[in-house]
Amino acid sequence: MGDRPVALITGASMGIGEAFADALAARGYDLALVARSGPALEAIAARLRAAHDIVAEPFVADLEERAAIEAVAGAVEARFGHVDLLVNNAGYGAHGPFETVGAERNAGEVRLNVEALVALTSRFAPAMLERGSGGIINVASTAAFQAVPYMAVYGATKAFVLSFSEALAEEFRGRGVRVLALCPGATRTNFFKTAGEGAKVGSFRTSEAVVRTGLRAYDRGRSFVIDGTANRLLAFSPRLAPRGLVARLAAQTMKR
């Protein structure tokens, strides 16, 4: 630690978050790894320290809780002093009729997918702007581009992440801080153990492919990127049809 940049990655214990940890460690970042699973984080941190001779520290926290967000942000600042790259990856989705998912599950999606992301961005972006350097990668989804019946809350949270990220990218333009919304489609992660296989649309991509797409777009200063050619077509094709029709077609697909 010292001259190396520091990345904070949420949801770092598996899937896209772990793939970001691998890729950024290979780039020479020190890592603050945040997730609920302590043993998984410890194992990843130990592996990356040994492989890349970096500092990799696990921070166990449930980011659905506002107090936990404040605590982990303070702990990261105490350990590293600053954050150069914030990767807001933590999130989940529930699949099913809105009234059967349950009020607490729906509210939990908003707390994690939206409120935690905004809170961490609010905590670390001002210091980046003051230094005139840094970046934020927010993991959105192809679900951000249209209404998603039977995953109504998840789609709405990801639409927020996309809009929020694009807006900040413009606000911060020319001030040394980049903001990217990374929009993957179906990815081979534990996401579908929570959401259910019925939430899957399109072919699976790997977490490593998603992260390569994201970091390439980040390096180029993009404000958003969709991973995979098929996913790009899937995301943009709804623009060619009335929104009501798009929602009805999506309902037929997601209702299964």
Catalytic residues: 154
Separation of first and last alpha carbons in the chain = 50
Amino acid at residue number 59: F
Q: Which token pair is 160?
A: 């927020």
Among 246, 211, 253, which Cα is nearest to 228's? 211
Distance (Å, rounded) from C-alpha 250 to C-alpha 150? 9
Is 235:226 a contact under the CB 8 Å cutoff?
yes
Distance (Å, rounded) from C-alpha 66 to C-alpha 49? 30
Helix locations, 27-151, DSSP H: 38-52, 66-80, 98-101, 103-110, 117-131
Beta-bridge partner residues of 179: 136
Distance (Å, rounded) from C-alpha 58 to C-alpha 34? 6
Amino acid at residue number 108: G
Among 168, 140, 137, 138, which Cα is nearest to 154's? 140
